[in-house]
Amino acid sequence: MTLMAEPLIRFREVTKEFPRPDGTGNFVAVDKLSFEIAKGEIVAVLGKTGCGKSTMFNLLSGLIEPTRGAVEVTGHDPFKEFNFFRGKIGIVFQNDRLMPWRTALDNVVLGLEILDTPREQAEAVARRWLERLGLSGHENDYPHALSGGMRQRVSIARAFAVDPDILLCDEPFSSLDEMTARDLRAEFLRLVRQNGKTAVFITHHINEAMEVGDRILVFHRPARIAYEARIDEAARGGGRQAIQDEILKVLSLDASAVRP
């Protein structure tokens, strides 16, 4: 929808269909979706549960193949050119997805291990990231011994440790309490901006989308863009209410769904 000189991510008329479990044809999860994201941009994707945000996320990360259309990331197909994207995309999931048999340090090392980074170097990088995320002293703790917030910090460290060009975040703070989520969100934004990353941030909270995104894409089911807004300083200030109202109108949500 937005045109720019050198988009890093490009969806062109992407459709994704899944067969219905009862065998009665296909279910359309993503419908002719087109958008572009520039390098260094943080885009928040907002939509109701089941609107196809996660399918778009999986298409973007190359975990599934589009039925029609094309997904391009740095000019390459993330599904077909699987190995090209090794280390280029970092993902922070809704739940921490830590391996329970690995310590916090070894969980952060995982991505580097897969990239064949020498163990000593991988450990040094992992320790640095754990320290930056306030987890010094917890390197040898197993996930069951960490709190929800600490576990999500480890998963953020794991995503950043491979130094990816693109960060994909699927409602990464939705399972945390508000205070922890707010702290982690601020920390996450600082890290993304400091390191010049491009990020796609999926959320179903309007305030979170406005806080995080340079741009907001609002999805309707099946995933297609129903509304788009650029969040500049003016929007973060006085224009905020107008954008919120517009998003609420598009989503047909009750105003109580907005986080205080």
Contact residues for another protein, defined by CB under 8 A? 61, 63, 82-83, 85-87, 89, 91, 93, 95, 97, 99-103, 110-111, 113-115, 142-144, 162
Contact of 90 with 160, CB cutoff 8 Å: yes
In the complex, the smallest distance separating the C-beta of residue 142 from another protein, rounded to whole angstroms, is 4
Specify which residues 227 forms β-bridges with: 218
DSSP 74-121: TTB-TTTTTGGGTTTEEEE-SS----TTS-HHHHHHHHHHHTT--HHH
Q: Which is nearer to another protein, 37 or 167 (CB)?
A: 167
Q: Which is nearer to another protein, 8 or 251 (CB)?
A: 8
In the complex, the smallest distance separating the C-beta of residue 246 from another protein, rounded to whole angstroms, is 33
Q: Which is nearer to another protein, 88 or 182 (CB)?
A: 88
Q: Nearest-CA neighbor of 40 among 83, 5, 11?
A: 5
Report how far apart, in Å, the C-alpha atoms of 226 and of each of 31, 125, 132, 255 are: 12, 41, 38, 18
In the complex, the smallest distance separating the C-beta of residue 251 from another protein, rounded to whole angstroms, is 27
In the complex, the smallest distance separating the C-beta of residue 144 from another protein, rounded to whole angstroms, is 5
Q: Which amino acid is at 234?
A: A
What is the Cα–Cα distance from 199 to 189, expressed in whole angstroms?
Answer: 10
Q: Which is nearer to another protein, 103 or 244 (CB)?
A: 103
Q: Which is nearer to another protein, 16 or 215 (CB)?
A: 16
Q: Which is nearer to another protein, 97 or 220 (CB)?
A: 97
Cα dihedral across residues 175, 40, 207, 255: positive or negative: negative
Structure tokens at 141: 């703790």
Sheet holding 26-38, edge to edge: 26-38, 7-19, 68-73
In the complex, the smallest distance separating the C-beta of residue 64 from another protein, rounded to whole angstroms, is 10
Report how far apart, in Å, the C-alpha atoms of 148 and of each of 8, 145, 166, 172 are: 33, 10, 25, 11
Q: Which is nearer to another protein, 83 or 252 (CB)?
A: 83
In the complex, the smallest distance separating the C-beta of residue 87 from another protein, rounded to whole angstroms, is 8
In the complex, the smallest distance separating the C-beta of residue 101 from another protein, rounded to whole angstroms, is 5
Q: 215-220 and 7-19 as β-strands: parallel, antiparallel, unpaired?
A: unpaired
In the complex, the smallest distance separating the C-beta of residue 83 from another protein, rounded to whole angstroms, is 6
Q: Which is nearer to another protein, 142 or 227 (CB)?
A: 142
Residue 41 carries which DSSP code?
Answer: -
Task: Using the structure block, give the residue that is written with the tokens 């739940």.
Answer: 95
In 3-state terms, the chain is what percent helix, strand and coil (to 5)?
Answer: 35, 25, 35
